[in-house]
Structure 1
Amino acid sequence: MRLRDTSEGELLARIFPIYAGSGHVDEASVPVGPGDDAAVVGAPGGTVVATTDSMVRGLDWRDDWSSAHDVGVKLAAQNLADIAAMGAEPTALLVSLAADPDLQVSWAEDLARGIASLASRAGAPVVGGDLSGAPAGVVVVSVTALGDLRGRAPVRRCGARPGDVIAVCGSLGLSGGGLALLHRGEGTLSDAVWDEPGCSDGGGRGSDAGSSRSAAVRELVTYHRAPVPPWQAGPRAGACGARALIDVSDGLVTDLTRIARASEVGIDLDGTVLRERFAAGSLTVALGEREAWHQVLTGGEEHSLVGAFAGEASLPPDTDRPWVVIGRVLPLGSGGPHLTVDGEVPGDAKGWDHFAR
C-alpha cells in the first residue's frame, strides 16, 4: 500500500503506536504529548538544548544501501549526538516526513521503528512532528531533538585551553569506511537487518585484527547504515568538567579544527594512538592500512564524541565506552588556530561538506 492509498490520519494511526514505544512519557517531563497542535515538554534545568538534522533520499542515503529502519536509526543518532556534545541529556524528539505519495506505507512504518528503537534507548520519546507530500521520487526526513542540561553550563566548542588533553569516546572511521565499501559495491542490504542497532566497542577499535575480512566489511557497512553514538557520555563529560566537546559528524580533522578555531588554540594529535587504537582491527582488515588511516582522520557520520579536558584525571570514568586520549591542546601559534598530527599538517584530510564537493 502506498501513501496515496491512505490518509494522513490513517498513517498517523499506524505510526503513533510505534512511537508510543519510544520511551515512557510522564506528565512531569511531557505535560502534553502528540495529538494537539504542539507538544509541551518540561525543562527541569531551566533551559532547552535544541538541534535538528534532515536526510534526503539519494543524497544522504540510497534505498539499495539502507533500509527505512537504518535511515531512522541514523537520523535519531546524529541528533542525539548533537545534544550529547553540548553536555545535555536528550528529553524528546520531533519527527517530520515529506514524501512522494507513491512511497510505500510500510517504508514510513519501518522508518518510525528505527527512530523509536534509538529514542527508547535514549529515554527521549517522540512527541510530535509533521507529515507532508513531496514531488515524485522525493523523500525528506528530519528529526528535531530537545535536551536538558540539568542545571549545568553547556559544553561549547570554544573552551579548550593550552595544556588540555584531547580525548575521544566511541569509534573513528567505521562509518566512513563502510561508505567507501558501499561505493565499491561491497556489502548487501541484508547485512544490516536487525531488531536493535549494534555498536562498536568502547575503544573504537572494532573487531579483532584477526577477524575475517567479510566480518570486518559487515561491521563497517552496518555501522555506516545505523551508527549508535555514545550519547550517554556527553552529560557525564559535562559533569566532569569537559572544556569543549563536538561530535564527529564531518571527520575528526574537520571537527577538531572547529574546536581549534573556536578556542583559538592549536591541537596536535598522536598518530601512534590513532593508528593502534582506531585504524587497526576492522578498518585495516577491510580497507588496508592506508585507507584505514585516511578514514580515521576524515570519515564522517561517526557521531562519536571528542573534546578537550583539563587532564587525564578529569576524564569521565566510563568503563563500557572509555575515553581515549589522542592528543594535546597547544598555545596559539603565529599561523593561527591549526590542527596537526605528530606536529605535521595532515595532507589530503578533507572532511565532509554538504556544498563543497
Structure 2
Amino acid sequence: MSEHSGAERSNGDAGNDRSVVGSGEFGLIDRVTARLPYGSACLLGPGDDAALVAAPDRRVVASTDVLVEGRHFRRDWSSAVDVGHRAAAANLADIAAMGATPTALLVALCLPPGLDVAWAEGLADGLAAEAGRVGAGVVGGDMSASPTLTVAVTALGDLGGRPPVLRSGARPGDVLALAGRIGYAAAGYTVLSRGFRTPKLLVEAYRRPEVPYPAGPYAARLGATAMIDVSDGLLADLGHVARASGVAVDVRRDAFEVPRQMADAAQALGVDPYTWILGGGDDHALAATFPPAVVLPPPWRVVGRVAEGSGVTVDGEPWDGPAGWDHFR
C-alpha cells in the first residue's frame, strides 16, 4: 500500500484501539500487507511509491472494478473474507476474459474510521485466497478514511505471447459457448433479499463466485473469436459482444439445466429461474464464440449461435424478462 499523499494523519483513538483509526494508517497497512501474497510476477512489493511487476509479454492487460457497501455488498450478508473473494474475482475474471493469465492486483480501500481492524484483515485474507487461486500477488494500493466502505481493485495480466481475445471478433456461423456457473449468484441474492439464508449452494455462490479462470487462456489457445466475463447478466453482456462484432447472438434456453436447489428456491419465491440464468450477474462465468469446426472440451459447452443481424435473442425470439444489471438504474 502506498502512502496517501496529502491526507491528514490520525494519531489514533485511545478509546477504540480495535478500530482502523485506533490502529493508524501505517499500522493498518502493516497488518493488511502482512496477510497478502506478492506472487511470482512481483519484483518489488509494498513499501515504495509504486510496485514493480514483471511483464514477460511486454504487454500488460489491465482492468479495474469497485465494490461499494450498500450497492455491491452488505456486511450483514457477507463476511469480510467473502467481500475480499468477490472483489478479487470481479477483476481476475476480466483478465481471464481477455485470454490472459492474471499476475497482480492493486487494492485501494476507503474505510470508515470506526471499522474494526479485524474486518480489514478478513478482507485481506479473502483477497489473498482468491488471488492465490491463479498465482497472482497483491502488490500495492492505497488507503483512505471514508464514510462509505469501498474496495477498488485493479488487476494486471499477461497474454503469454497471444493476441487478446476481444468482444469484437465474433462472426456469423460461430458457436456461442459458456464456461462456469450461471444464475447461481443472482438466485442467492434474491434469497438473501427475501430474508432467507438457504439454500446454502445459492447463498454461497453470491458470497464467493467460482470463476473458471483457466478457461480464459484455454479458450484463446482453442481459437476463440470473442470473449466476455458475465458479470452483469448473460444477455446484457452478450449484447456487448453483438454490438462490438456487428452480429446477432441467439441463446438456446434448453442449453441450461436448472439445478434442483435453484428450481426449489424459484418455486418458493415465485420466480422464473431463467430470469436468474439469463439475466443474473456476479457468477463471472466466461462466454465466448468459436469457429464451428472447433471441438470444445469441458469446461466449455455450446449454448447458442452467432448469425448475421443484430441484437440478442433467446430461441430466436426477443427476451421479455430482465436482461442484466445496470448500475445507474
- TM-score, scaled relative to structure 1: 0.84
Of 249, 263, 287 in structure 2, the residue corresponding to residue 267 of structure 1 is 249
Distance 2:65 2:200 in 1: 26
3-state DSSP class of the match of 1:18? Answer: coil
Structure 2 residue 173 is matched with structure 1 residue 173: no
Cα drift, residue 349 of structure 1? 2.6
Distance 1:54 1:290 in 2: 29
Structure 2 residue 32 is matched with structure 1 residue 11: no
Cα pair 1:312 1:325 within 8 Å, conserved: no
Structure 1 equivalent of residue 262 of structure 2: 283
Cα pair 2:63 2:154 within 8 Å, conserved: yes
CA distances 1:28-76 after superposition (whole Å, capped 9, x unpaired): x322111110001111111000001111111111111011111000000
Of 210, 217, 241 in structure 2, the residue corresponding to residue 228 of structure 1 is 210
Of 200, 212, 216 in structure 2, the residue corresponding to residue 218 of structure 1 is 200
Structure 2 equivalent of residue 120 of structure 1: 132
Cα drift, residue 294 of structure 1? 1.0
Distance 1:290 1:167 in 2: 26
Structure 2, unmatched stretches of 5+, are 1-17
Of 37, 48, 71 in structure 2, the residue corresponding to residue 59 of structure 1 is 71
Cα pair 1:23 1:123 within 8 Å, conserved: no
Structure 2 equivalent of residue 186 of structure 1: 196
Structure 2 equivalent of residue 326 of structure 1: 303
Distance 1:89 1:152 in 2: 11
AA paired with 2:312? L
Cα pair 2:222 2:294 within 8 Å, conserved: no
Distance 1:173 1:30 in 2: 35
Cα pair 2:107 2:142 within 8 Å, conserved: yes
Cα pair 1:83 1:145 within 8 Å, conserved: yes
Cα distance change on mapping 1:349 and 1:329 into 2, 3 Å: same
Cα drift, residue 141 of structure 1? 0.7
Cα pair 2:234 2:323 within 8 Å, conserved: no
Structure 1, unmatched stretches of 5+, are 188-213
CA distances 1:257-293 after superposition (whole Å, capped 9, x unpaired): 111111111111112112xx2x243311221395211
Cα pair 1:116 1:126 within 8 Å, conserved: yes
Distance 2:50 2:295 in 1: 41
AA paired with 2:97? A
AA paired with 2:63? T
Distance 1:347 1:312 in 2: 32
Structure 2 residue 41 is matched with structure 1 residue 32: no
CA distances 1:310-345 after superposition (whole Å, capped 9, x unpaired): 026343x34xxx11100000112xxxx111111110
AA paired with 1:295? W
Distance 2:39 2:320 in 1: 48
Distance 2:39 2:315 in 1: 48
Residues 49-58 or 342-351, more deviating? 342-351
Distance 2:21 2:322 in 1: 45
Question: Sequence identity of aligned pairs in percent?
Answer: 48
Cα distance change on mapping 1:293 and 1:348 into 2, 3 Å: same
Structure 2 equivalent of residue 90 of structure 1: 102
Distance 2:222 2:138 in 1: 29
3-state DSSP class of the match of 1:177? Answer: helix
Distance 1:109 1:290 in 2: 37
3-state DSSP class of the match of 1:181? Answer: helix
Q: Runs (4+) of structure 1 moved beyond 4 Å?
A: none
AA paired with 2:265? A
Structure 1 equivalent of residue 312 of structure 2: 339
AA paired with 1:282? Q
Residues 232-241 or 279-288, more deviating? 279-288
Structure 2 equivalent of residue 238 of structure 1: 220
